[in-house]
Structure 1
Amino acid sequence: MKKTVLAFSRVSPEMAERLQQDFNVIVPDPKLGDMNEQFNDALAHAHGMIGAGRKLGREQLQNASKLEVVSSISVGYDNYEVGYFNERGIMLTNTPDVLTESTADLAFALLMSSARRVAELDAWTKAGQWKRTVEAAHFGTDVHGKTLGIVGMGNIGASIARRGHFGFNMPILYSGNSRKAELEQQMSAQFRSLDQLLAESDFVCLVVPLSEKTRHLIGKRELGLMKSSAILINISRGPVVDELALIDALQNGTLRGAGLDVYEKEPLTESPLFQLSNAVTLPHIGSATNETRQAMADRAYQNLRSALLGEKPQDLINPQVWKG
């Protein structure tokens, strides 16, 4: 008898077709009524779930009595109550590695755009304001040769560092839980405490997972340690930064600028950030390329299929629940 898979976010027709080869598949459809109601009705039948963007834990999954695995089409897993998954023996998988380079590209796009005021001056030009040679009031700041500080030197952080070091001759500073001897050798990267990194860097890029330890890791005190000429880039998770403190720093000139892809509340529809010319605001698109999203979907499919067919998934976040 086929097991049942519930898609808890939108999946492509191709993904649904692949899943249907081995499983019964339930994909909530807005044309059929309330999506949450469809989701809750399907929970009791689901052996596996696949998707992204929905919080899942004790409250949401109490009726999912048959659930064996949740396959998340994401790297971060702060939306999932891992302790509850462990308690229930539910496997949780993610899609690491496949989005590393695309996300590093986006980080550097934000860095370059913030430094050279690309979004601001694009809007200014389109508004018909370019009537004479651009003067100092619209100058940006150089990127090449400036110091790049990376908070969280995992795979994405290392890819950003390579872009800065080899592409722009930037000295690399980093902070994190451990030293990275290979990167120190390859790029002369230097380890710093967080406070030291903030004080010395011209660009600070946040690439840490969200946890209780990293929530509001960057607040008023930390922003005050940064150079007034510095730019903050956040591609990690919104709550890593105290957003109100950041807004204040951008408004009062404590900080030159910020490039943001993530926010404390998402989707972000209203914010003082939208009124600030020194803030570049993107709608959480770190992995949003056709190639990368396809690779993430493929990885999530393989993880789900392995788990439901009795094989250990490649990307099991909580291996202690594996019963193989």
Structure 2
Amino acid sequence: MTQSSACTQAQRDQAIAWLLRLRETPTDPALRQAFTAWLAADPAHPDAYREAEAQWAWMEPFTRQSFAARDAALRYRAARNDVRRRRPAVWAMAATVLLGLGWAVFSPQGWYGWSSTYSAGKGQRLTVTLSDDSHLELNTDTEVRVRYNRNRRHVDLVRGEAFFEVRHDTTRPFSVTAGNLTVRDIGTAFDVYQQPGRVSVAVQEGKVEMAGGQQRRELSAGEQLAYDSDDRFVAAGQTDIAAATAWRRGQLLFRGRPLGEVMAEIGRYHDVVIRLRDPKLAGLRVNGNFRTEQLDNLLNAVATLLPVKIKRLGEREIVVEASDKL
């Protein structure tokens, strides 16, 4: 599971202060020790410091150019005439102005904005709180790219499935893109699942607008819809919101789902390949509630419910075939 941390403004300010202090006295052992302790105090501190360094590197060329904020900073003079004392103060003031300008450009509320990537591996889930207090919940084998700026909030669902609880802000729309579909929040909690050939959307609270090609659809709480690779809106595979979002509770809830789809869903959560020996088995219907992490129990339950048997051909290969009862 990987995550690019969203640092707070206070942490960014601390990181800038450390950057300036370390550049003024880079060989001070006590300062280095205190800095190491600060890094270890919070998992977000290393990320904040890396951001400060990146901003510094980006802004460095501007230190050789003339513009109002820089010139004003460099005109600053300390009260005393001691050059050795004055230079660090002048330099620190200029650096603070330049870095502050960088944060204004690259912060989540800045002109260019802030971006980050979050991912969850097979069998994992990840919950992320964004800078506006919206929440993302990533299902197994999922990756998203988040981009915030002063005008909009946007998420690219690269693969997999995510649940969004959005803090509504009419001045900064929140949207999700998955394949050829864009989902726009209208004060909402909703699920987006990018499957082979289609993207499914299920709304738990509020409303969303789905836009694909020249078509638009509005979904309200309790409704689901899918958009396929032929640029058409089609019925979603699940029958209700509870089934569509059961993964958030570590469960798979099937209500009359075809066995082929069920095996594909199970395969998302485990590092195995599951094959049906006979394509005719794909149409058998499955009903039940299963734990996602218990692969053997899940497969055995399916074999109990249906006239099939499970065969392991190796650690990562499983075959489902017809039993004598079929």
Structure with more helix by fraction:
1
Instruction: Choose between structure 1 and 2 for higher RCO, CA contacts under 8 A separated by at least 6 residues.
Output: 1
Instruction: Tell me, yes or no, whether TM beats 0.5.
Output: no
TM-score normalized by the length of structure 1: 0.26
The structure number with the bigger radius of gyration is 2
Structure with more strand by fraction:
2
